[in-house]
Every structure is written in structure tokens, then in C-alpha cells.
A = this chain, B = another copy of it.
Amino acid sequence: MSPRNIEKDLLMREERKKFILDSAVQVIATKGIGSTHMNDIAAAASISIGNLYHYFKSKDEIYAELLYMTQTDYGLFVTAASQMPGNAIDKLRYICSTWLSISTNWAFTILIQTARTTESIPLEIRNAVTERFTANLQPVAAIMKEGQESGHILDGEDPLELAFYFVSLIQGLTLQRAPGIEVRITPKTESIIRLFQVGFKK
């Protein structure tokens, strides 16, 4: 009946959406969230504003999907790290060095923090973000626990609490890497890991 291939259309639609979201991340990583407008996103994806609204029905929806994508990707990354071969220290090292080396991560961090603290963003979205944030702590907590059991990581603390500190520290460091910020101190993975490591210190 239809001269179009419906399946292919749906697939293309998903691809387009992904492409738009990726483009949006690029702009946000350059301009910051506060100054990224719908026309910036449209321009970044090389489509018209009107067409942008064919894929997402509001700015909030873009926000929500962006947050979902970002946090899901991060969750997958952390989960993969927790299942890597090697000991707990190796895994933390991998997380730390990889995360700090991605230069646009500051944008994710600010994106997430802003989403959580901006009144105009629907409570629903904000709660979902916090929910995922908490869920994403679990794989790191698992690494901490494993490290404590193998004697590599500081004992005596709740593994979840340690994970919370580790992630907060990395987030805090990530923020210092936003464009235009020239802190002359470069975080070093080895030094960061040592904070959580046992036996290294005399």
C-alpha cells in the first residue's frame, strides 16, 4: 500500500533522533546548558527548528532524553568496568582515567546537576535523574567491596559510601575542566587511586 518502507522509516527516525541528541551534546559541551537554545540544537543537527519538533515535542523532552542517554551510557561504562578482568584497583584506575580523559564530560556533569536543581524542570525528570545517579553507584560500590575483600581497598567503610566519595571526587574534578577554566593543576589517576588504596602508604 505505502510506497515507503515503514520499518526502514522507523529505523531512520531513531537514527535521526540519536544524531540530534549527539549534536545537542556537542553544542552544550561548547556553550553550556544555560545558553543553548533550540535554534542552536537545530543548527548543530543541520535541521530546521520546525523539524526538530517532529522528533522531540519540547525542549524538556530533549533534556530528558539527553539525561537518560548520558546516564545510561555512564551506567554501561561503569558496569563494564566492574566486570573487567583484573583487581579492584585496576578497575578504579580504568574508570578514573577514562572518565577524566573525555573532555566533554564536564558538560554531562553540569547537565545533570542543573537538571536536578532547576525548578522549571519537571519533578518527574529530576527524580528519574537522581534515581539513575543512585543506581549507577552500585557497580562502583561492587568494585569497592571486592577491593576490600581482596585487601586492596580501605576497609572499615561502607563500600557504597566509598563509591559515593569516589564518584563525587571525579565529578568535582570533571567540573574543573570546563572550557575557559584554566586551573593549572592536572589530576593524576595514580594519585587519585592512592586515596582509596591500602598498603601504599607507610
Contacts and interface: CB of A to CB of B under 8 A. Distances in A.
Interface of A: 31-35, 106, 110, 113-114, 116-120, 123, 126-127, 130, 133-134, 137, 154-157, 160-162, 164-165, 167-173, 175-176, 178-185, 187-188, 191-192, 194-196, 198-199, 201-202
A101 B157 CA distance: 21
Given A117-B181, A127-B182, A172-B173, 17 more contacts: A110-B113, A113-B178, A116-B180, A116-B181, A117-B180, A133-B183, A155-B202, A156-B194, A161-B185, A164-B187, A165-B192, A168-B187, A169-B172, A170-B172, A172-B172, A172-B175, A195-B195
Contacts of A169: 165, 168-169, 172
Contact of A168 (B117, B130, B176, B201): B176
